[in-house]
Structure 1
Amino acid sequence: MKNWKKNLSVLLTATFLSSTAHAGAIDALKKFNQDADGLSGNFTQTVQSKKKNQTSSGTFQILRPGLFKWDYKSPYKQTIVGDGANIWLYDVDLKQVTKSNQDQTIGDSPAAILSNKSALDASYMLKEDGTSGDIQYVLATPKRANAGYQYIRIGFQGDKLAAMQLKDGFGNQTSIRFNGVNTKPNLSRGAFKFVVPKGVDVLSN
């Protein structure tokens, strides 16, 4: 299913970490994690493995607690929706929907930050990690040895989330750039209700 679980975990983690102007990156990150109720914008994601690099892009919408929607536009069309109880993955090319329990799918992965404001402090050790150009970074290191990630670097540009870099347990590296980030989107809960398209097979995990 085109690494959708990895996409979900990486993207949902990155999207809920931002900052406020003139604050230290860690303090700003924690404040945003505590205060943010919604987020929307665009993303470009590149996954680098030993065999190949793959770049994808799309849009996202998030409404706390626990509601999210990711629309991959390129190079393939795919939608991931979390409605608070289930996660729905719609692969347009395969004409297939996969339904899974949201709590079980997210587990204690970085994506848990979406629905649990205490997950950041509970699951990660944080430290300032310098700057590159005009982007300031925080290094988040998982406290559990089997978390699946070696580290996550979250980058901020002014008061906006700008970038994220992640290295998983297999050495694969993922880089994400964000633009058009809106920290006060006008979102309703109804926008996160997934309706299965006609003629599409539904699989359950």
Structure 2
Amino acid sequence: MNKLFLTCTLVLMTLGPGLAHADALDRLQEYLSETRTLRGHFSQTVVDRNGRKLQNSSGNMVFARPSLFRWVYEKPYAQIIVGDGKKVWFYDPDLEQVTVQRMNLAIGQSPAALLAGSNDIEKHFRLKDAGTSDGLEWLLATPKSGEGTFEQVRIGFRGSHIEVLELKDNLGQTSRLQFSGLQHNPALASDLFRFKPPKGVDVIGDR
């Protein structure tokens, strides 16, 4: 689930081929410049390279750019992932276990960096227009470094709002996150981005 999360975080095909790339970057920059916080629900589907469904999950998430986030998986089982700006906490209640990683190692060039990261996207990703389908405008982002666990990310926009994020990993699996009920720039309590391990759980990693 950890790698699937580092899923979650850019779009636009225009009529004029000479301007398509510039317009797509304009749309991405519009999202980055206008979105400070984000709250909403997500549903996630994972399929293998043959299109066979492997997993469905759902939950809710909040972001406060550039480096605060909280993802709560509710179905089929619970998991909480909190980024506090310095570290990322992965809590699995069923295993009674918390895994801690430094923020730069957990995020790095992951898809989460596209959603909650800094504006310096082109430093880490190659961006390319991917056309229009399913009523959405798409942008393809591929990491410049080959050290990550994914090959590419497609992000679908409706207007300037992100609606779908698709991640293809190095095993050929594709994770699709569909966002709904999004609230842009809501006021968020700071304690949403703090995590204190429950008593009695095992804590692994760089605490």
Q: Deviations over 1:66-97 (max 9, x none)?
A: 11100000000000001111111111111111
- Check whether the contact 2:11–2:130 (CA below 8 A) recurs between aligned residues: no
- Check whether the contact 2:97–2:202 (CA below 8 A) recurs between aligned residues: yes
Residue 150 of structure 1 is matched in structure 2 by 151
Deviation of 1:107 after TM superposition, in Å, equals 2.5
Deviation of 1:158 after TM superposition, in Å, equals 2.9
Q: CA RMSD in A?
A: 2.2
- Check whether the contact 2:98–2:202 (CA below 8 A) recurs between aligned residues: yes
Distance 1:52 1:132 in 2: 21
Residue 163 of structure 1 is matched in structure 2 by 164
Structure 2: where are the runs of 5+ without partners? 13-21
Query: What pairs up with 1:41-120 in 2 under 5 angstroms?
Result: 41-49=40-48, 53-113=54-114, 114-118=116-120, 120=121
Greater Cα shift, 92-101 or 78-87: 92-101
Identity of aligned residues (%): 40
Distance 1:112 1:164 in 2: 13
Q: How has the CA–CA distance of structure 1 residues 18 and 60 changed in structure 2, closer, same or farther, with 3 Å as cutoff?
A: farther
Distance 2:131 2:143 in 1: 19
Distance 1:24 1:48 in 2: 31
- Check whether the contact 1:18–1:32 (CA below 8 A) recurs between aligned residues: no
Q: How has the CA–CA distance of structure 1 residues 145 and 195 changed in structure 2, closer, same or farther, with 3 Å as cutoff?
A: closer
Q: How has the CA–CA distance of structure 1 residues 150 and 52 changed in structure 2, closer, same or farther, with 3 Å as cutoff?
A: same
Structure 1: where are the runs of 5+ without partners? none
Distance 1:35 1:171 in 2: 33
Distance 2:148 2:201 in 1: 34
| Alignment size in residue pairs | 194
Residue 181 of structure 1 is matched in structure 2 by 182
Distance 2:201 2:42 in 1: 27
Q: Which letter maps to 2:159?
A: G
2:88 alignment partner, SS class: strand
Q: Deviations over 1:118-143 (max 9, x none)?
A: 1x111112122111131111111222
Greater Cα shift, 29-38 or 171-180: 29-38
- Check whether the contact 1:57–1:73 (CA below 8 A) recurs between aligned residues: yes
Q: Deviations over 1:125-181 (max 9, x none)?
A: 212211113111111122223443222111012342111222112211111111011
Distance 1:107 1:71 in 2: 21
Distance 1:29 1:46 in 2: 24
Deviation of 1:24 after TM superposition, in Å, equals 4.3
Residue 7 of structure 1 is matched in structure 2 by 4
